[in-house]
Amino acid sequence: MDEWMNYEQFDRQTWHSFFPTNTVRLSQDNLEDIKSLNDRISIQDLQDVYLPLIKMIQLRYQNFLEWQMQKANFLRQSVHRVPYIIGIAGSVAVGKSTIARLLSILLNKLLPDKRVELMTTDGFLYPNAELKRRGIMDRKGFPESYDMEKLLKFLNDVKAGEPELKAPTYSHQVYDVQLDKPQLIEQPDILIVEGINTLQLPTNQRLYVSDYFDLSLYVDADADLIEQWYLQRFGLLLDTAFTDPSNYYYPYSQGDREAAFKMARDVWQRVDLPNLEEFILPTKSRANVILHKTVGHVVDRIYLRRD
């Protein structure tokens, strides 16, 4: 069976033609915000790929708001604010958090009266100490390394409009969850949730994380390319965060650079690649939108699931 039969596929040019960019004006500040993503997203990518994407998200969001009104009318309830949740899935190091940040900047710009917040599911990993206690430190990122019950309960509370929720956070710098630095989630209108497990099937819970999503995106690329991006990020961290003696990878920042990269390649091959193949890739066909990236993070194809 054709794996893509329920998707429409667009090349970059066609996708761009759906929303020619001169209709959105970005201020210098917005551009600076976007550039602070380290020049990683080019203005060309912004125009060709991300502005049409954000326009489509805006249309879907309007539709969602309309439905909330109609539903309240039908059920003879008063309209209450329900957050719109966007999930972003894909491999470790494929660029999920970079895209999530860009989308949040653009949504803030397009919908200035809406509160847009961004979080990652990495904070729901068990702390390193607990992973070690369970003997699964080398399974970090695999389904069993997350407290899925806690994540589901959290998303349920967000949807229910609970005020001032505290999301646990994760630091790539420290290589651990930061129990003392929770992120406040304060009744957002739109919440972007990025993480490798956002489309994962439940292991023993009855709910999917994605049951709480109003829209889901999967960021896709060839594994060989993602490995390069993983190693590039490792190189950056090796020169910065890992030089802190409290960092998990500190010894590698002090020793031979080639040995450090050898270790990182080994971690990719033993941990992140098998996780991609066994648990992350199979979730791709559940996403509403698939962004396919090629060399240099350039998005060359966009897939939309028929609905």
Ligand X SMILES: CC(C)(COP(=O)(O)O)[C@@H](O)C(=O)NCCC(=O)O
Ligand Y SMILES: Nc1ncnc2c1ncn2[C@@H]1O[C@H](COP(=O)(O)OP(=O)(O)O)[C@@H](O)[C@H]1O
- Please identify which residue in 148, 196, 237, 290 interacts with ligand X, judged by CB under 6 A: 196
Long-range contacts of 25-33 (CB under 8 A, 24+ apart): 26/109, 27/109, 30/105, 30/106, 30/109, 33/105
- Sign of the dihedral defined by the CA atoms of residues 54, 154, 201, 133, in that order: positive
Which of ligand X, ligand Y, none does residue 232 bind (CB under 5 to 8 Å by kind)?
Answer: ligand Y
Binding site residue list for ATP? 90-97
As a whole number of angstroms, the distance between CA 144 and CA 207 comes to 16
For tokens 């066994």, what's the residue? 278
Which of ligand X, ligand Y, none does residue 229 bind (CB under 5 to 8 Å by kind)?
Answer: ligand Y
For tokens 């206690």, what's the residue? 133
Binding track over 83-102 against ligand Y, x by CB under 6 A: -------x-xxxxxxx----
Minimum CB separation of residue 299 from ligand Y in Å reads 8
Query: Per CB under 6 A, does 41 bind ligand Y?
Result: yes
Query: Per CB under 6 A, does 217 bind ligand Y?
Result: no
Region 122-141 residues binding ligand X, contact defined as CB under 6 A? 122, 140-141
Under DSSP, is residue 258 helix (H, G, I), strand (E, B) or coil? helix
Task: Say if residues 261 and 233 touch (Cβ distance below 8 Å).
Answer: no
Contacts of 185 by beta carbon, 8 Å cutoff, 6+ apart: 117, 119, 158, 164, 165, 166, 167, 191
Minimum CB separation of residue 29 from ligand X in Å reads 27
Minimum CB separation of residue 264 from ligand Y in Å reads 13
Minimum CB separation of residue 227 from ligand Y in Å reads 11
Measured distance between the N- and C-terminal CA atoms of the chain, rounded to whole angstroms:
19
Q: Which of 116, 93, 115, 84 is nearest to 103 (CA)?
A: 116
Which of ligand Y, ligand X, none does residue 28 bind (CB under 5 to 8 Å by kind)?
Answer: none
Minimum CB separation of residue 119 from ligand X in Å reads 12
Q: Which amino acid is at 255?
A: G
Name beta bridge partners: 299. 293
Which of ligand X, ligand Y, none does residue 77 bind (CB under 5 to 8 Å by kind)?
Answer: none
- Please identify which residue in 37, 65, 201, 267 interacts with ligand X, judged by CB under 6 A: 267
As a whole number of angstroms, the distance between CA 293 and CA 90 comes to 11
Q: Among the candidate windows 2-10, 16-24, 45-53, 92-100, which touches ligand X by CB under 6 A?
A: 92-100
Minimum CB separation of residue 213 from ligand Y in Å reads 17
Binding-site ranges for ligand X (CB under 6 A): 92-93, 96, 122, 140-141, 196, 267, 271-272
Binding-site ranges for ligand Y (CB under 6 A): 38, 40-41, 90, 92-98, 229, 232-233, 297
